[in-house]
Structure 1
Amino acid sequence: MKRSAALLGALALAATAWTAGTAHAAPASPAGVRQTSVSAAQQSAAERFWTPERLRGAKDVTNAKDMTGLPAATGTAAARTTAAPATAGPRLAVPPVAGPSTTAGGEVTPMSSPTAWNGGGLISTTAGKVFFQNSSGGTFACSATVANADNKSVVLTAGHCIVNAGTGESYQNWVFIPGYNHGNRPFGTFSARVLYWWSGYVSTGGNANWDFAYAVVNTVNNRSLVDTVGAEGIAFNSPTGQHVHSFGYGGSDAEGNGEQLNHCEGTEYPDAGRGDSTMWGIDCVQSGGSSGGGFLSNFDTGAGTGYLVGNISVSSGNNEYHPYLGDEALTTYQAAGAA
């Protein structure tokens, strides 16, 4: 089956390195984990950079062709460097954390096409939009979700929303806005202080099996991200074939042009489009801008709580897929949580 990365191929663009700062330097990462630290001055600059005008002008991340004129990655074995499947070690689940501003949700109708999320609950505060800039000055938007971690400051997103898979250089002026809604920033703008990704994502030139990443963000008003909005749980080496829910800020007219949180759900199945794929997907697809949004298992639609088991990465036809969070994703998460 021919697959197109309609959401979401690697952001393959000519980039210059984002100078890593020395302030708040993160601990050295374990083997296989890559990181970029951001200086305090760069963090402050990122917060100032994202004016309302720039938020409105940011382009929803779709694929490499949109950014460089290169052909979009197909996802076929011939077009991608083959990578070993993700390893599967012991299962680990970190529970969600209710936020001080969380309100109970209401009834939610199951959907197999993206629909505005009106259910409230924790996901309405823990899901949010990511904004960043490339070295050519272009501004872009993705999605992300707060994941419970020791430092209360971690968000899960897609690798292609953090790093150029062609060069290994990370993006700049990177911020996360939880609860984003039609330009509103109800909890503030959280700038990244460290960005983390798995080395296999870059060494394979953007193989979507490794298209997960984490950002460790600053405090706002001296409060951590989790203390401000709560956190979803996150699970590693979890069972597959589960009923899952996905959330993102798709940029189509039907999805509110990237200004509202949207929702899909379905029972996941393995990706049959690539011989080397370890990804799982559902019969629903969100459009550009939803890249990095969370897939959650054991999701309680009333409370808006669940366990992150992946992030929106690639699409094919009416399906969207997430990388499996195995040992590599766990190692990267642990490095982010210790920063």
Structure 2
Amino acid sequence: MRSSRQSPWLFAGLTVLVMLLVANCTHAQRQLPAFSNPVIPGLWTPDRMAEAESIDSPVPNDLGEDAGVSDPEPDAVPAAAEKTPYRDNAAVIGKLFFDTPEGPSVCSGSAVEDPARPGASSLVWTAGHCVHAGAKGTWFRNIVFVPSYNNEGLEGAARGNAGQGQVAPFGTWWADYAETSPQWIEQGGPSGGDGAAFDFAVLHVRPPDSGTASLQEAIGQAAPVWFDAPSATRIPAIKAWGYPASSPFDGERMFSCQDRPGRLSVDADQPTLYRIGCTMTGGSSGGGWFATSPDGALALVSNTSIGPADNTWLAGPRLGAGAKKVYSSVSDRFSSSRK
């Protein structure tokens, strides 16, 4: 008959086993699933695009008043409708569509240059929260970029009757890779501004319909990215573009705001954001912010990340070394391919 007393070696072995299992589970939880975005032909029809809604959540109106260095809240700048056709006036700006657990959603994005492929870039700049849910989340699915979406700015019945060529004049470009900042993945949240200082992402997109032209070759342009641009106090003006989709907008037309930027500090221990007065709403997230660079060209310096409940301003991250690392990583990944 065996004794009811258990060997201390048995307990030690079980303890080690449990610790290993816990460590393995913890390690597995921290591993970010690989980005996967297989093409589903015919998924993003004009009707499904029109039904997609913004998932953006506003931040408190008084965000940043007591955190670090924030300049006074700017006066609201009414969003101005972009001239049509968009392909002639703002060809690098487009609309992002993607699926979330809550359904189809929208953001904005910008075609940007690829240092590894001059003149033939297929890179798109947007916000991190437009491709990944942030802390405790994962990648969104079925992400596509539509440059010059709704090119003629059609509204109402005219938009409802528009064909694929009017809604997506350059086609629908599926993302085959995406990368965002590790800080967004670790800290990003749906509200409150968590992770906003690192809320940026870069996509690589593939030509529609088995084409061979790059995004830049197709639309004729790609914007340069200006990393480590001057602080808000040293930039005279920034202009932001996007497709605002929350009321009073419907996401069908492109708008912009131009203002002298100020600083917004969401967390005293993190970099300040650029902030401008603007009445654009959810859906404009990810849209490019542009300033005149030293060579006289407009260059992307930020993207829309957050805005308040009363829709009077927008804020976006200042693009430093971390943003450049993400950008270079995506560029390097496709540097040996033609598209």
TM-score (norm 2): 0.69
Q: Offset at 1:328?
A: 0.2
- Aligned-partner Cα distance in 1 for 2:243–2:201: 18
Q: Is the 8 A contact 1:146 1:226 kept in 2?
A: yes
**Structure 1 pair 123/234, CA: closer, same or farther in 2 (3 Å)?**
farther
Aligned to 1:114: 79
- Asked if the contact 1:36–1:196 (Cα under 8 Å) also holds between the matched residues in 2, the reply is no
Equivalent in the alignment of 2:28: none
The DSSP-based 3-state class of the residue aligned with 2:213 is coil
Aligned-residue offset at 1:253: 5.3
Residue 125 of structure 1: aligned partner: 91
How far off is 1:258 after superposition? 0.7
Are the equivalent residues in 2 in contact too, given 1:247–1:294 (CA < 8 A)?
yes
Q: Deviations over 1:96-153 (max 9, x none)?
A: xxxxxxxxxxxxxxx92111011767652110100000245x1001000011113411
Of 196, 204, 207, 1:216 maps to 204
**Following the alignment from structure 1 to structure 2, what is the Cα–Cα distance between the partners of residues 322 and 280?**
5
Which residue of 222, 226, 230 corresponds with 1:235? 226
Larger % of helix: which?
A: 2
Map 1:43-62; keep pairs closer than 5 Å.
43=39, 45=40, 47-62=41-56
SS in 2 for 1:295: strand
The answer as to 2:195 corresponding to 1:195 is: no
Letter in 2 for 1:311: N
CA RMSD of aligned residues (A): 2.9
Partner SS for 1:170: coil
Matched position secondary structure for 2:50: helix
- CA shift, 1:36, in A, is 4.0
How far apart in 1 are the matches of 2:267 and 2:61? 10
Match of 1:38 among 32, 36, 39: 36
Match of 2:263 in 1: 270
Matching residue of 1:313: 305
Match of 1:247 in 2: 241
Distance in 1 separating the partners of 2:106 and 2:87: 24
Higher RCO structure, 1 or 2 (CA under 8 Å, sep 6+): 1
- CA–CA separation in structure 1 for the residues paired with 2:171 and 2:276: 32
Question: How does 1:1-339 map onto structure 2 within 5 Å?
Answer: 36-38=34-36, 42-43=38-39, 45=40, 47-63=41-57, 112-118=77-83, 124-136=90-102, 138-149=103-114, 150-151=116-117, 152-181=121-150, 182=154, 184-206=167-189, 207-220=195-208, 221-229=211-219, 230-241=221-232, 242=235, 243-252=237-246, 254-255=248-249, 257-276=250-269, 277-298=271-292, 306-316=298-308, 317=310, 318-339=312-333
Letter in 2 for 1:192: A
Contact 2:188-2:196 at 8 Å conserved across structures: no
SS of the aligned residue for 1:314 comes to: coil
- In structure 1, the gaps of 5 or more residues are 1-33, 65-71, 83-110
- Preserved contact between residue 63 and residue 266 of structure 2 (Cα < 8 Å): yes
Aligned positions, number: 260
Distance 1:35 1:282, change over 3 A: farther
Larger strand share, 1 or 2: 1
Aligned twin of 1:94: none
CA distance in 2: counterparts of 1:269 and 1:53, whole angstroms: 39
Q: Provide the rounded CA distance (Å) in 2 between the counterparts of 1:139 and 1:73.
A: 25
Counterpart AA for 2:319: L
Classify the secondary structure of the residue corresponding to 2:42.
helix
User: Percent of aligned positions with the same letter in both sequences?
Assistant: 27
Closer, same or farther in 2 for the Cα pair 1:114/1:323, shift >3 Å?
Answer: same
Contact 2:87 2:148 in 1 (8 A): no
Deviation at 1:205, TM superposition (A): 3.5
Match of residue 25 from structure 1: none
Aligned equivalents of 2:87, 2:50: Cα separation in 1: 26
C-alpha contact (below 8 Å) 1:196/1:215 kept by paired residues:
yes
Task: In structure 2, list runs of 5 or more residues that go unmatched.
Answer: 1-31, 69-75, 160-166, 190-194, 334-339
- 218 and 121 in structure 1: CA distance in 2 versus 1, 3 angstrom threshold: closer
Checking the alignment, whether the CA contact within 8 Å between 1:235 and 1:307 is kept in structure 2 is yes
CA contact (8 A) 2:247 2:281 kept: no
In structure 2, relative to structure 1, the CA distance for the partners of 1:278 and 1:35 (3 Å cut) is: farther
